[in-house]
Amino acid sequence: MFKIGKRTPSLLEPVHSDVPELRGAELSAVYYGQRVGGDFYDFLRVSGDRVVFGLLDVAGRHEQTREVAVAAQQTFREAAPQLFSDKEVNEADAMIELCLRLNRTILEAANGRVLPCPALAACYNENIGTVCYFNAGHTPGLLRDKKEVSELGATGLPLGLFSHVTCDAPTIGIAPEGVLVLISKGLIEATRKTEEFGMERAKATLSAASCANAKEICLAMLDGVKRFMGTPPTHNDVTVLTLLRSPSI
């Protein structure tokens, strides 16, 4: 379990996340370039058949947000195993409670500052191939089933704004060979002259990607941004997290 310990807070960073092995699926995340903003992602196996993962973006420059990011990651890593360890857990209730705990942590760590934190977190159930998620004002997740791409829009407000927040936690199915992609705001806001890459280009890039594994899909999304901009995307944090379900046997 991650512990802050006695290190100087200004030197803390979110800890590296090892990708857990999944049964019948795989996860990957790729972060491009130097960290300038508040993006961070995490993966965590919480039971024998569930993995929780998420992408958060604390508003502000990295030097202003890292302590909040560290606190949020600690809560994520402590709370998720508690909430999802029971085999009979109601996943929607657990996801909503995780959202509430993250919100309280961010408010406390911000120490009176207003640091909105869009967040998208999900629990993948290996037994039935479903994802239960909340989207707290984050860039929509993208779900590809065959070549059709749909959006997982917001189910609540960004974290870090209000002490009492509410959110929903829907459940979706991931078909064999289906793909769920979480993308940071920096990818959508990548600009060429005055034109943004945007959500429609992101969806088209995912639809056209024919990749053998989750990491290649992450790289295909980043390559789409790079080709659009004509230069590497160093304007902001640019992060892609992918869940790819294996073909049925």
pLDDT in tens, 135-187: 999 999 999 997 799 999 999 999 999 998 889 999 999 999 999 999 999 89
Locate the domains of the chain by residue range. Answer: 9-245
> Does 3.60.40.10 match the CATH number of domain 9-245?
yes
- C-alpha distances in Å from residue 23, one per residue of 46, 49, 89: 14, 8, 20
**Among the ranges 40-49, 168-177, 190-199, 225-234, which has the highest mean pLDDT value?**
168-177
pLDDT of residue 235: 62
Averaged pLDDT score across all residues of the chain: 87
pLDDT of residue 120: 97
pLDDT of residue 6: 33
Task: Provide the pLDDT confidence category of residue 115 given band limits of 50, 70 and 90.
Answer: confident
Q: Could you give the 3-state DSSP secondary structure of residue 236?
A: coil
pLDDT of residue 5: 32
| pTM: predicted TM-score of the whole model, two decimal places | 0.89
pLDDT of 25 above 60: yes
- C-alpha distances in Å from residue 191, one per residue of 112, 184, 220: 33, 14, 18
Other CB atoms within 10 A of residue 51 CB: 24
Q: In this predicted model, what pLDDT tens digit does every residue of 203-247 receive, in sequence order?
A: 999 999 987 899 999 999 999 999 999 887 766 678 899 999 998
Give the angle 145-40-17 at the CA atoms, nearest 5°: 85
pLDDT of 16 above 90: no
Q: In this predicted model, what pLDDT tens digit does every residue of 61-101 receive, in sequence order?
A: 767 778 888 899 999 999 999 999 898 999 999 999 999 99
- H/E stretch holding 15 reads none
Q: How many CA atoms lie within 13 A of 99 on its CB side?
A: 33
Q: Could you give the 3-state DSSP secondary structure of residue 31?
A: strand
pLDDT of residue 249: 52
pLDDT of 36 above 60: no
